[in-house]
Amino acid sequence: MMLGIFKLTLMTFGVLYGAALTGIYAFQRDLQYFPTHRDPAPAALGLAGVDRVTLAAPDGVRLVLWLSLPDRPAPVILFLHGNAGEIADRADRMEFYRDRGLGAAFLSWRGYGGSGGRPSEAGLLTDAQTAYDHLRGLGVAPDRIVIVGESLGTGPAVMLAARKPVGAVILEAPYSAAVDIARAAYPWLPVGLLMKDQFRARDHIAAIGAPLLILHGEADSVIPIGHGRRLYDLAAEPRTFRSLGPVGHDALFSPATWEIEADFIARTIGP
């Protein structure tokens, strides 16, 4: 009797576990990406002189890029935003960079803001490449392009900089790999087998030849600081790791963090 109950319990558990695996696999991108879809004009947010440019990715997806090129030769930041919200939530950051005399190109990922399509690892990498190619087509020299990756955007930032020449790379609260984050969150799942978009930044970081700055808060519970330290250990010189102190993920939205970046750009590339 007890053996029969045990077998039934085990069978029930197996069915439920299998159903959970199937559901998570089918809807994993809904669990991984959190896009919002506002698409205001830059001027409506107080950004005078910022153009809203529409780019066509090679796969036909239409992408939105907010673009402000400097009046004089100066570094141009290619900003790859994080998972929460969209570029419209980062207008103050763009204004900060412009106030420091920097050019700025803020890319809206596919499926976010006014961009078409749906997010995926391959799609985001295509988007980043498309924005980079657009800057090059406008005559921006590779050594004047600074890639700034925020949270989710750090994976594509690493992979783009690993294969394209740039002036510098800045990673804000980067992950060693998205699959590493997922594995810690779901230790009971075979995440390495199930996850489609793994963003293995750790496999590409060593190929970056440009000056690298990694910024991470000690109390970041979204992406623990160990991920940033691991990438730093794997990266080639010249590299810099900067702790933001006892702060969390919200430090990425602080002008104090952006000031560190502006100083790094000034020291690394110049005005």
Is 8 a member of any domain? no
Query: Using CA atoms, how far apart are residues 172 and 168, in angstroms rounded to an integer?
Result: 13
- The count of structural domains within the chain is 1
Where residue 245 sits, what CATH number does that domain have? 3.40.50.1820
Residue 177: pLDDT band with limits 50, 70, 90: very high
Is 17 a member of any domain? no
Size (the chain), residues: 271
Domain of residue 69, residue span: 33-268
pLDDT at 15: 47
Question: Mean pLDDT across the chain, nearest whole number?
Answer: 91
Is 19 a member of any domain? no
Q: Which helix (H) or strand (E) holds 135?
A: helix 121-137
pLDDT digits (tens, 9 = 90+) for 208-249: 999 999 999 999 999 999 999 999 999 999 999 999 999 999
Is 39 a member of any domain? yes
Residue 167: pLDDT band with limits 50, 70, 90: very high
Is 23 a member of any domain? no
Query: Using CA atoms, how far apart are residues 254 and 246, in angstroms rounded to an integer?
Result: 14
pLDDT digits (tens, 9 = 90+) for 75-125: 999 999 999 889 999 999 999 999 999 999 999 999 999 999 999 999 999
pLDDT digits (tens, 9 = 90+) for 37-49: 999 999 999 999 9
Is 24 a member of any domain? no
Phi/psi for 198 (5° steps) reads -95, -15
Tokens of 172: 């804000």
Contacts of 181 (CB under 8 A, 6+ apart): 175, 223, 227
